[in-house]
Structure 1
């Protein structure tokens, strides 16, 4: 049995659509309460655990660091230690925000980490705790997640296009939009291989090709048939409480070499999401 932490988020919903999993929401396992994650694993005795839960409010985390640390670092540590004790694989999702976004080269798994804000620091602390637990783990760093569920950039752009015919969108942040459905499929494939004896580690999985937010917005409007003019703007013209990395490109070669999984093409994933949204 696959136990999934998270129930209503983008990734958790995709995991439930694609596989027979037991997904635990806050009512079943409140990750803000220490000990609940470990207790859930002991109670359900799964064959593999996937952590699809996270504190993802990047700006809110700047004022809510205690809760962000509990969900993004302390709870994954509990999960990883419990899985290590049972000898079962643990798969944990992390983020490009562990890097400072400098340069233009795609980030490799062994590049130096230097998060810019609370969200990135708490996710990095979670990574370090998972590695230290000593079990067979996967840390899957991904970026710019989108789907037909919840709140994300695709749905925001579509909502704005209902009332706007022109938008200014940041063009100096470059990354890989990643369909949640593809992340879910990748985690399930990795879990299967790990149960068969594969050894995990830290991996990158981001959509290809790299694009700016402005370029992504243009693709959304083009595929959706929305006539919206997008103007490129620099990040400084769209200030936010938390600084975003300018370079979120991820080198996914290690994942392909070790698990035979190639990075997703986000244009195809976008088409599927728009179909799900009946657009």
Structure 2
């Protein structure tokens, strides 16, 4: 894989962590967290991209930005709309504008929440959007800003991400397994669990293609773990990895556990755009979970 000069806003998050870990040998990586790079502040973004350009020139490497910064507190976003829009919409707009002016390509990570979730089958990249939550609306606005910015940019939607860094469903279920005799988990929402390490590898493969001048024709792509399940099915698989009885996980409906933000019933994203681009399809979600589990099991129990 080609060495890169890589800027990863959101470098402290679970995806950012794995992007740094998977960066090709010889790469120059800048992975600032929100304290070091506030994507909502133009001056901060300009300095970060200019630093990347300078580092790329010094190292003789192609520069690219992979934006992993996001406001992901889905329920809190319903009452913190200004903050969510600032990070998820204004931030990508600023990044894309600066990338455009410096001629640095951009890969922006988005979400299944841009869709309404009422389709029977997997969502294709050109299916009608229609987010039902503030979080989804802000992410859709960010996509639009990036794609109309004039930057050499791609949007990659993903879903149900978990990894060693940050909080996520796998860590939560692992912790609860040790605290409760049984768990009730929603069985009427479907999606594709995605290990952040696999996603990072896919994004870096895409980045390598882009800097080589062979970026996909389609500017919006879907990249998730292979296959699909429900949150209930996902929780049972986590129990299996723990060596616990999966029958301790009980199915329930979304209506039984109402949340401030409405979740898509169907979050399954079709891999067709990724396949058509000639990119490596991520492994099946169940295989990925088995591979991933040892790397963060102890941390999840803390």
**TM above 0.5, one fold?**
yes
Matches within 5 A, 1:196-215: 196-200=212-216, 201-215=219-233
Long gaps (5+) in structure 2? 57-62
Partner SS for 1:94? strand
Of 6, 23, 28 in structure 1, the residue corresponding to residue 36 of structure 2 is 28
Asked if 1:44 corresponds to 2:52, the answer is yes
Partner of 1:6: 10
What is the RMSD computed on CA atoms of the aligned residues? 1.4
* Deviation of 1:186 (Å): 0.8
In the alignment, what sits opposite 2:260? 241
Which segment is superposed worse, 253-262 or 94-103? Answer: 253-262
Query: Does residue 79 of the first structure (1) align with residue 95 of the second (2)?
Result: yes
Would you say the 8 A contact 1:175–1:211 is kept in 2? yes
Question: Does residue 226 of the first structure (1) align with residue 244 of the second (2)?
Answer: yes
Quote the Cα distance in structure 1 between the aligned partners of 2:34 and 2:273.
34
Q: Distance in 2 between matches of 1:178 and 1:109?
A: 18
> How many Å separate the matches in 2 of 1:109 and 1:263?
17
Task: Name stretches of at least 5 consecutive residues in structure 1 with no aligned partner.
Answer: none
Task: Give the Cα separation in 1 of the matches to 2:137 and 2:149.
Answer: 19
Q: 1:162 & 1:241 partners in 2: Cα distance?
A: 27
Deviations 1:163-217 (A, max 9, x none): 1121110000000000100111011111110001123410001222110000010
Contact 2:67 2:108 in 1 (8 A): yes
Shift of 1:33: 3.2
Distance 1:233 1:170 in 2: 5
Q: CA deviation at 1:49?
A: 0.5
Q: How do 1:117-156 residues align onto structure 2 when only pairs under 5 Å count?
A: 117-156=133-172
Task: Give 3-state SS (helix, strand or coil) of 1:259's partner.
Answer: coil
Mapped contact 2:84–2:138 kept (Cα < 8 A): yes
Range with greater deviation from structure 2 (67-76 or 16-25): 16-25
- SS across alignment from 1:261: coil
CA distance in structure 2 between the aligned counterparts of 1:156 and 1:266, rounded to whole angstroms: 18
Paired residue total = 279
Offset, 1:259: 3.2
In the alignment, the residues of structure 1 paired with residue 46 and residue 90 of structure 2 have an alpha-carbon distance, to the nearest angstrom, of: 11
Residue aligning to 1:262: 281
Q: Does 1:181 find its partner at 2:197?
A: yes
Matched-pair contact (CA < 8 Å) for 2:92–2:145 = yes
The equivalent of 1:61 in structure 2 is 77
Question: For 2:31, what is the secondary structure of its paired residue?
Answer: strand
Question: Would you say the 8 A contact 2:122–2:270 is kept in 1?
Answer: yes
2:8 alignment partner, SS class: strand
Runs of 4+ in structure 1 displaced over 4 angstroms? none
Answer yes or no: is the 8 Å Cα contact 2:67–2:107 preserved in 1.
yes
1:273 aligned onto 2:289: no
**When the two structures are superposed, what TM-score results if normalisation uses the length of structure 2?**
0.89
Mean Cα displacement is larger for which, 223-232 or 38-47? 38-47
Please give the TM-score of this superposition, normalised by the length of structure 1.
0.96
Residues 12 and 31, structure 2, Cα contact 8 Å, conserved in 1: no
Distance 1:133 1:120 in 2: 20
| Cα displacement (A) at 1:230 | 1.2
